[in-house]
A and B are shown apart, each in its own frame.
Chain A
Amino acid sequence: MRTPSPRTRKIAGLSAAPVAVLVAGLMVWQGSTAAFTATTRNSGNSWATGQVALTDDDAGRAGFTVENLVPGATGERCIVVTSNSTVAGEVRAYTQNLSGSAAGLEDHIDLRVERGTGGSFDSCDGFTPVPGALPAQSLTTLAQANRDYATGGAAWETEGTPGESTTYRGTWTFDTANMSQTQIDALQGSRVSVDLVWELQSNDAA
């Protein structure tokens, strides 16, 4: 075996540049094609659960199912929200999909959402709130004022440590103060439902 001849060295030196440019171009072309011409996103792909995940302890049960309201009645429910994310971010609470009644029962169900520690879905025993709760307001107001992440409240800063959790407590009241019996009776048979949503968004990169 001989040492590389000057000719070989020259070929290597001169061909390196075109090869590199070609490889760079291919990388850009391939990446752009894959990222920008695909017209559907990979729904339910495994990346999502790997990087950011938010779960709660309701095990699929509804937070509130009150089938027989009595004027002035009140109730509470706690739910533990757990972040399994590796990136820091902020969780905010908001409402979605308010389905009201013609008689406007949603105007008279007041809901207060607090964040704190302790408690679980089965019992609020041991729940201790932290400042920053959303004030008690009617579902109608909530659905307008806290309708998405941007308008959400009761914020929780996550550190990006998988498994960190916090507890949210919802307290509702069927508020019939300042209502006449006739007005209360007009709500008879009404049903209202709403989804309570917690959303985590990762922080911007520093």
Chain B
Amino acid sequence: MTAVLWSWVRLFIGTAAQIYLVMIAALASIAVIPALFGWHATVIETGSMEPHIAPGDVVVLSDLPADRPVPVGGVVQFTSPAGAQPSGVERPVLHRIVIDHEDGTYATAGDANAEVDSTPMIRDQITGQARLLVPFIGLPALWLGAGQHLPLGLWAAATVAALLLTLAVFVPRGHDDEDDGVSDTQEPPALARRGAMTVAGVAVLGGLTGLPAAPSTAAFTARTGTAASWRYVGMPPITLGRAGPFALLASTRLTDHTPLGHPSSVGGSVGSHPGLAVEGLQSSGARRNVFGTVEPGTAAAANAMTDARALESALLARPATASRPTVLTGRITPGIYTSSTGAFTVTGDLTLDAQGNPAAQFIFRAATITATDSSRVLLSNLARAAHVYWTATGNITLGISTTARGTYLARGNIAANLTPGSPTQRLTLEGRLISLGTTSPGGTIEVNRPTTTLPA
């Protein structure tokens, strides 16, 4: 009974081994034979086309004729440029075409990738359209190429074992014939059959490991990202607004100390707000020295003060282009300057050089601003006093006989040319003095012998 069972098991195993060998031979033939008709095969090296196509599968491809459309939805082999590969080497890639961008480029993707490939493909890169998928048959070549000797060895051993089993079961040997009790006289000589099977087996082994199919990669890709946005709302405009007509505008008190008989001339309006005091300045009468209007605490002064404070905010909002030491003298180009010490002192002649740009702005910002006696601010190369601004978070003090240009804005007090002196010691101002009164104590303007004009 045991002997009977054994002979059935032996037959079964032998048959299975033969099926295995023939199947390998058949798959190998399917992978290789199309090459005779101009198709080509490729071994898949990576798993990005899973679940359909696994590493070790062989894909047989046909050329894509020039008159055939690009097979969107189909699987193609294409040459991925060197730069698109992590290795920096040009590689054939087997992926599916998923999007026609309709500009001559196509998006490709591995079936196992959530994202499409980031580098678009053009038709010229296509080296073949996938036609046949031959499973497993490229595995020996893949193992050999990857140096994976263990699976390669196991597979080779299993195949040799299958070969030997087949030979043992189906090719009669001397003692087998005795078991059968029947002489297979019609069979070819046993030695010849055995030899043929062995040659075939070795051919399969050797052929598979050296399968003449160039490998294709099918890289995995994954992406992540984050959004970024920037918005430039803009800076508040630098404009005098309703403070434009004012030459002298104080917050609490505006006083002209010019002695009787000394010259005083203000080429614009004067005013105060919220204070009501405007002293020594008249727009009519014998001592008329104001050639605009006098606005003590009026609505016009209030509006002008509002806009002057907005102007100061706009000037302070802008980033500085440079930080400078205290002393301002010599030639300075346009820019927004802050003091490295907190104070600016104009000494001697300060020439503002617009470098030919009449729109060039000069903005000076400090805690305190001082002009030494007899100092002058001069304009050069189309610089305009209308585009010169001085802002002090504290006081502004202009010395005796100074020439000042620009709009002077102080949160503290402004004092200019305060000396009894002689009639020739004048304050020459092309611009405006505005005390904002936003720090305490502050808000007064005191001048002596002013000769002011509003800048054009």
Contacts and interface: CB of A to CB of B under 8 A. Distances in A.
Interface of A: 1-4, 6, 8-9, 12-13, 16-17, 19-21, 23-25, 27-28, 31-32, 34-36, 38-45, 47-49, 51-56, 58, 61-73, 79, 81, 83, 85, 87, 89-90, 94, 96, 105, 109, 111, 148-151, 170, 172, 174, 176, 180-182, 184-185, 187-206
B221 A71 contact: no
A90 to B, nearest CB: 4
18 contacts: A3-B7, A23-B23, A25-B26, A25-B30, A28-B134, A35-B52, A36-B131, A52-B112, A68-B233, A71-B235, A89-B86, A109-B230, A197-B224, A200-B222, A202-B220, A204-B85, A204-B86, A205-B215
Given A195-B226, A201-B86, 8 more contacts: A32-B130, A45-B112, A71-B235, A89-B86, A148-B118, A150-B118, A189-B234, A202-B220
B188 interface: no
A205 B113 contact: no
B76 to A, nearest CB: 10
Contacts of A9: 11, 169-170
Contacts of B230: 64, 66, 69, 105, 109, 172, 174, 191-193
Query: What DSSP secondary structure best describes chain A's contact surface?
Result: mixed
Nearest to A87: B220
Contacts, number: 295
B30 A28 contact: yes
Contacts of A181: 238, 359, 361
A89 B81 CA distance: 17
B145 interface: yes
A32 B132 contact: yes
A105 B83 CA distance: 30
Contacts of A61: 226
Contacts of B220: 51-52, 85, 87, 89, 200-202
B255 interface: no
B112 A20 contact: no
B235 A198 contact: no
Contacts of B182: 6
A1 B4 contact: yes
Nearest to A189: B234
